Amino acid sequence: MALALSLNADGHGELDPTLQSLYIQQDDGNYRLDAEFPDNEGLKRKAEELLGETKIEREKRKAAEDRANALEAAQQKADDDAARANGDLESLEKSYEGKISKIKDEYDSKASTLEKQIYDLTVGQTANNIASELSIKGSAIALLPHIKNRLTLEQTDDGQRIRVLDMQGNKTAMTLDDLKDEFRANDAFKPLIAGSGASGSGANGANSGAGGNTSAPKRLADCKTPEQKKSWLAQNS
């Protein structure tokens, strides 16, 4: 039989007298099982102890790595000194080339990572903002690659700035607002642009004639169905 940790007066009164003696009456009139409970402070101290041991192990591992690197550097220096003393210039040259190559690789890797982060925070974020501003709900992802292809990050004397490119990838004097206006005026993107008045039904497109031409649409504005739009975007993105 499982005993409750605490009981009110009624619940305590319903117990067998031999079980009632296992409970201690509290100041509020309720009863608490007279048993040992886990010491929360003790558990907290144990957790802190384990964390301290983990920290110590990390420090030991770091110290061991530092010693290994120091030994490796000392061994390399000894080899270089021996090569220099013996006139083994070829071995010495290879040693220095290896050091330089390692430093260059580390620098290139860090620089590449940093450049990507900067690009994502500037060009990537700007393209996302423009796509969200221009598009109808759910269409930003379709506009995004086209907008991103029209932006680049340029280094200037004052730092870095975002430059708008033309369709061929050449730098222009266009502003971001100019680029937005260009996308708004582009018939190919009007079905995706918020507030353009385009419904995507093809009412003004080449397929709206009496003949009901079923050939593949040449423009996004000519697409009559969601499937045609998806197909057009897939072929022209």
The residues spanned by each domain of the chain are 61-197, 198-206+216-237
pLDDT of 203 strictly over 60 = no
Evaluate whether 192 touches 142 at the Cβ level (below 8 Å): yes
Give the C-alpha separation, 219 to 233, whole Å: 10
Closest CA to 72 of 102, 105, 116: 102
Give the C-alpha separation, 196 to 39, whole Å: 68
- pTM more than 0.75: no
Give how far Cα 163 sits from Cα of 23, 151, 160, Å: 78, 6, 9
Amino acid residing at 233: L
Helix (H) or strand (E) holding 235, with range, is: helix 226-236
Q: Mean pLDDT of all residues in the chain? A: 76
Q: At what angle do helices 125-134 and 140-148 cross, to 10 degrees?
A: 130
Give how far Cα 21 sits from Cα of 2, 14, 36, Å: 15, 13, 15
Give the C-alpha separation, 17 to 126, whole Å: 76
Confidence grade of residue 81 (pLDDT, cut at 50, 70, 90): confident
pLDDT of 36 strictly over 80 = no
